[in-house]
């Protein structure tokens, strides 16, 4: 069952996986001359969609992609963003677990 909540959570997990890869690239290229920081902004895309007419009806329309910034990566910034991304991933994972638990209850008629 592909609900709007599930679509958003799926997009969030994809965005956080992409962001983690971008952060790993940034850290691995800290000392590369001319390297520009790579970032992924899912939350901005979600906020724009929420403010639109009708809110987020189709999360598949959320376009999340990596983009380069006009600055080099800094280790402290990358590590803080990695910690933030890990917390967001854990939150989305818990929300997905709850979503599937509710679906299981609706199908079987009993929790767990």
pLDDT in tens, 62-99: 778 899 999 999 999 999 999 999 999 999 999 999 98
Q: Is residue 102 pLDDT above 80, yes or no?
A: yes
Rounded to whole angstroms, what are the CA distances from 88 to 44, 80, 110?
Answer: 14, 12, 29
Structurally, the chain folds into a number of domains equal to 1
pLDDT at res. 3? 79
Look at residue 1 and give its three-state secondary structure. Answer: coil
Per-residue confidence (pLDDT) for residue 13, from 0 to 100: 93
Q: Say if residues 64 and 52 touch (Cβ distance below 8 Å).
A: no
For the chain, what percent of residues have pLDDT higher than 70? 88
Mean pLDDT of 21-27: 97
For residue 1, pLDDT over 70 is answered with: no
Q: Give me the pLDDT at residue 70, please.
A: 95
| Of 45-59, 71-85, 97-111, minimum mean pLDDT range | 45-59
CB–CB of 38/67 below 8 Å?
yes
Judged on CB neighbours under 10 Å (0-12, 13-18, 19+), 34 is: exposed
Show the domain range for 31.
4-108
């Amino acid at each position: 069952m592909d609900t709007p909540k599930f679509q958003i959570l799926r997009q969030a997990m994809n965005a956080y996986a992409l962001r983690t890869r971008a952060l790993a690239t940034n850290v691995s290229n800290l000392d590369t001359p001319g390297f520009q920081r790579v970032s992924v902004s899912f939350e901005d895309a979600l906020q724009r969609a929420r403010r639109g007419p009708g809110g987020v009806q189709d999360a598949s329309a959320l376009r999340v992609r990596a983009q380069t910034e006009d600055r080099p990566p800094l280790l402290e910034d990358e590590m803080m963003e990695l910690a933030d991304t890990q917390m967001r991933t854990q939150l989305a994972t818990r929300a997905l677990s709850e979503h599937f638990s509710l679906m299981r209850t609706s199908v079987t008629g009993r929790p767990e």
